[in-house]
Amino acid sequence: MTVKEQIEQLRSLLHQHNYNYYVLNTPSISDQEFDSLMRQLQELEEQHPEYQDENSPSVRVGSDINKNFTQVSHKYPMLSLSNTYSEGEVNEFYQRVRKALNEEFEICCEMKYDGTSISLIYEDGKLMRAVTRGDGEKGDDVTDNVKTIKSIPLVLHGNNYPPVFEMRGEILMPWDTFEELNREKEAREEPLFANPRNAASGTLKLQNSSIVASRKLDAYLYYLLGDNLPFDGHYENLQEAKKWGFKISPLMRKCHSTEEIFEFISYWDIERKNLPVATDGIVLKVNSLKQQKTSVLQQNLHDGLSHISFRPKEH
């Protein structure tokens, strides 16, 4: 086996083990074995820089090089969600969708994670760019920092994904990581982060990606955008994207009535306190992408989306 083949085999193995651990939640090797494979890869890449690959698993350790962020325009604007709070407003949202479409529809209910939004651009199965929400029209290119987040795939599985597409999601700092980080800051007598959202946002904008890597950020991906998507259904596209290597929230449900929506909201308003990451509501989406784009629905509700905020609650 040539050196190039050894490097490619190690990269493939590490990508697969990373997918098994972060997406499937079924680790196939121990942490020590994973670290050993990573060291082998790093040594070979250091000895043979001619085989450098910007999507190698080794980039997840980050770099000490400081760099400024470039602003990038979003192909699809990253709009804010309209807020809904009461049972009456949820009913109103449902009835407005029903009236606008005047046909059968499904509502996809999803947990809204409390982090910082990210847009991921993939071309030919490889992560090419990661951009923050910014002002909705333009955001910062934070690709190097995002590559350190192990739950975001650098290279996709399979071959049935569109040649170019965008995946949106939320960058998060788990509660235990947030609390550990604040203990360290307190020991150094530094100002504490107010909440995991601020910690995740601040970490993602650091100029040193090796520090970003050390803070163990996580991510859930929630919206697939582009041409030639596999399905018309938003829910179905996300289930397909999971096969490509994306970490998709399991806390989703397709609903066909307001009763089912309220059942989902009521359950997670209580159970969310047991989740390892912060949440701040439920997002309602018309499941059909075709229905989302109908002019009548666009006029009544932007993209057929609404956000239900939970009552304030301490972790």
Residues 83-106 have pLDDT tens digits of 555 678 888 889 989 988 889 999
**Mean pLDDT, to the nearest integer, of 44-69?**
74
Q: What is the CATH number of the domain that holds 280?
A: 3.30.470.30
Name residue 263's amino acid: E
Do 138 and 258 share a domain, yes or no? Answer: yes
CB 265 within 8 A of CB 70: no
From CA 202, how far away is CA 116, in angstroms rounded? 9
Residue 308 or 80, more confident: 308
Total residues belonging to the chain: 315
- Please give the pLDDT value at position 311: 52
Is 284 within a domain?
A: yes
- Please give the pLDDT value at position 63: 54
Q: At what angle do helices 196-204 and 175-187 cross, to 10 degrees?
A: 80
Do 14 and 88 share a domain, yes or no? Answer: no
Is 118 within a domain?
A: yes
- Please give the pLDDT value at position 43: 86
Do 240 and 296 share a domain, yes or no? Answer: yes
Is 38 within a domain?
A: yes
Is 72 within a domain?
A: no
Query: Band of the pLDDT at 67, cuts 50, 70, 90?
Result: low
31-40, 53-62, 180-189, 238-247: which range is least confident on average? Answer: 53-62
DSSP, collapsed to helix, strand or coil, labels residue 299 as helix
Do 264 and 159 share a domain, yes or no? Answer: yes
Radius of gyration of the chain (CA): 21
Domain ranges, residue 134: 81-309
Residues 104-140 have pLDDT tens digits of 999 999 999 999 999 999 999 999 999 998 888 888 9
Residue with tokens 């890869």: 41
Is 97 within a domain?
A: yes
Do 116 and 216 share a domain, yes or no? Answer: yes
Is 67 within a domain?
A: no
- Please give the pLDDT value at position 313: 46
Residues 243-270 have pLDDT tens digits of 999 999 999 999 999 999 999 998 998 8
Residue 3 or 257, more confident: 257
Do 270 and 129 share a domain, yes or no? Answer: yes
Is 248 within a domain?
A: yes
Do 209 and 296 share a domain, yes or no? Answer: yes
From CA 93, how far away is CA 282, in angstroms rounded? 13
DSSP letter, residue 159: S
The helix or strand, by DSSP H or E, that contains position 224, with its residue range, turns out to be strand 218-225
Do 53 and 112 share a domain, yes or no? Answer: no
Regarding beta strands 126-132 and 305-309, do their DSSP bridges make them parallel or antiparallel, or are they unpaired?
unpaired
- Please give the pLDDT value at position 234: 96
Among residues 4, 67, 75, 112, the one annotated as catalytic is 112
The total number of structural domains that make up the chain: 2
DSSP letter, residue 50: G
**Mean pLDDT, to the nearest integer, of 220-242?**
95
Residue 112 is among the residues annotated as catalytic for this protein = yes
Residues 159-218 have pLDDT tens digits of 899 999 999 999 999 999 999 999 999 999 988 998 999 999 999 999 889 999 999 999
Residue 66 or 194, more confident: 194
49-53, 145-149, 225-229, 296-300: which range is least confident on average? Answer: 296-300
- Please give the pLDDT value at position 81: 53
CB 276 within 8 A of CB 114: no
Backbone angles phi, psi at 96, to 5 degrees: -65, -40
- Please give the pLDDT value at position 312: 45
Q: What is the CATH number of the domain that holds 33?
A: 1.10.287.610
Do 11 and 96 share a domain, yes or no? Answer: no
Is 76 within a domain?
A: no
Half-sphere exposure of 120 (CA within 13 A, CB side): 30
Do 44 and 100 share a domain, yes or no? Answer: no
Do 299 and 156 share a domain, yes or no? Answer: yes
Per the DSSP assignment, residues forming a β-bridge with 308 are 84, 282
Do 220 and 296 share a domain, yes or no? Answer: yes
Residue with tokens 């947030």: 178
